[in-house]
Chain A
Amino acid sequence: MTYTQLAFAGVGLTILLDLVVLRTRLLLRRVFWVAYAIVVFFQLVTNGVLTGFEIVQYAGDSIVGTDTPRFIGAGRIAYAPFEDLLFGFALVVQTLAWWVWWGRRGVQYRPLAGPPRWRSETGSGSAPSADGT
């Protein structure tokens, strides 16, 4: 199979994992998409370095594009094959789905995240406190 085929299959299985298998339904939540927007920005930067400087190289016959990196176009986004975005999506969503699944089962649900340091003086904000009270 080509990287392109595997990447699309990976996204399909990942969506199934989140919505059907684990029923974590992260893909339906605002919190996920905001976090993913941040992650994908940094993916484009770091993966751009790895692929633009050809630290990692791709075979032209395994991707939609060619083996020559270009900034945009011909199957490439920020030097990386667009397939890498699908790969990264699968990696990130699967991790977060399992993270939520274990938390839901009561495995280290606490200590909860937050509040951010700058909000700690003011006490109760909208965010849950670190000790969960």
Chain B
Amino acid sequence: MPRLAYFGVLVFIVVGSGWLEVVMRTNVLRRSRRFVLALAPVLALFLIWDAYAIAAGHWTFDPDRTTGVTLLGSIPLEELVFFVVVPFAAVLTLEAVRSARGWSVGDEPPGEQP
């Protein structure tokens, strides 16, 4: 069980932001193709950064509190999930603020500024 400690933090992030999709009607899941397109370049860049940082010894992961499953022999599975879950939470938060306040985000077509 302790090997799921990092995963526990990831679950907290999902639960802590996921309720916005229901209560604030952020509609990000219904725009999942847009999310995947937005995530792709970010995911690629940060996985490269992570792989470099691990290879250079910038950071290490406690083997007793991570599953030990890795990608390409170095990046823990938890890191991959982190780089999906955190961007998802960020988009949910931005859309939740838009939902609550009605503020312009910058993607509005001309003449449709809220």
A46–B12 alpha-carbon span in the complex (Å): 8
How close is A123's CB to chain B, nearest CB, in angstroms? 14
Indicate with 1 or 0, residue by residue over B92-114, a CB within 8 angstroms of chain A CB atoms. Answer: 01111111111111111100001
Q: B41 in the interface, Cβ–Cβ < 8 Å?
A: yes
Chain A nearest CB from B27 CB (Å) reads 4
Q: Hey, which chain A residues are within 8 Å of B109, CB to CB?
A: 106, 109
Q: Which of A55, A99, A101 contacts B94 (CB 8 A)?
A: A99
A59 to B60, CA, bound (A): 8
Q: Is A8 an interface residue (CB 8 A)?
A: no
Is A44 an interface position by the 8 A CB rule?
A: no
The answer for the CA separation of A96 and B59 in the assembled complex, in Å, is 26
Residue B68 at the chain A interface, CB threshold 8 Å: no
Give the number of chain A interface residues (Cβ < 8 Å): 60
Interface residues on B, range: 35 or more
Q: Is the interface of B mostly helix, strand, loop or mixed?
A: helix
Q: Are A126 and B38 in contact (CB under 8 A)?
A: no
| Interchain CB contact under 8 A, B83 and A91 | yes
Q: Is there an interface contact between B41 and A92, defined as CB atoms closer than 8 Å?
A: no
How far apart are the CA atoms of A29 and B56 in the complex, in Å? 36
Instruction: Give the most central of A1, A30, A96: most B CB within 10 Å.
Output: A96
Is A71 an interface residue when CB atoms closer than 8 A count as contact?
Answer: no
A95 CB contact (under 8 Å) in B49, B57, B90, B104: B90
Asked whether, in the complex, the Cβ of B46 is within 8 Å of the Cβ of A91, the reply is yes
Residues of B within 8 A of A56 (CB): 6, 59-62
8 contacts between A and B (CB under 8 A): A35-B94, A50-B6, A55-B5, A62-B53, A63-B58, A108-B34, A113-B28, A113-B99
